[in-house]
């Protein structure tokens, strides 16, 4: 990548980190592919989060996974290496009312991804997520 493009992308990331996230929030990139796993979430939720994050990382996006906004909300995935950040929220049991409340609290556009129920043999249906950003 061109050095000017990389510098511009880094300045965008730094701006969003300063303005919206609490101090100490870590950015996940393809060079630093750490995907944190939450113990309190379901297995299906974590598999879907890892699948989405991996697809976005392979498309060279910079992500914040389980980062905390200054207003206290914690989205699943935020793509911040672009001019208008996008939040990916993995939904399994949330009602429409709860999703509407979350949408009002988040400062960026939100995409809800449906989390699939496991099969009777405890496997998750194979779904491929392709980012179209």
Could you read off the pLDDT of 53-109 as tens digits, one per residue?
888 888 888 899 988 899 998 888 999 878 889 999 888 777 788 888 888 888 888
Global pTM reads: 0.78
- Strand ranges, E, within 3-116: 63-65, 77-79, 86-91, 109-114
Where do we find the tokens 């929030």? 25
Q: Reply yes or no on whether the pLDDT at 124 is more than 60.
A: no
Q: Is 77 within 8 Å of 64 (Cβ atoms)?
A: yes
Residue ranges per structural domain of the chain: 3-114
Q: Reply yes or no on whether the pLDDT at 116 is more than 80.
A: no
Q: What is the pLDDT of residues 68-80, one digit of tens each?
A: 899 998 888 999 8
């Amino acid at each position: 990548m061109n050095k000017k493009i990389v510098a511009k992308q880094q300045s965008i990331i730094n701006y969003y980190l300063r303005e919206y996230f609490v101090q100490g929030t870590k950015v996940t990139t393809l060079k630093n592919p750490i995907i944190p796993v939450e113990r309190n979430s379901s297995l299906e939720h974590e598999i879907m989060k890892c699948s989405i994050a991996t697809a976005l990382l392979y498309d060279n996006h910079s992500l914040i996974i389980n980062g905390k906004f200054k207003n206290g909300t914690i989205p699943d995935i935020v793509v911040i290496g672009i001019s208008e950040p996008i939040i990916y929220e993995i939904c399994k049991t949330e009602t429409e009312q709860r999703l509407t409340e979350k949408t009002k609290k988040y400062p960026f556009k939100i995409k809800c991804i449906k989390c699939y129920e496991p099969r009777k043999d405890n496997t998750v249906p194979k779904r491929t997520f392709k980012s179209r950003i």
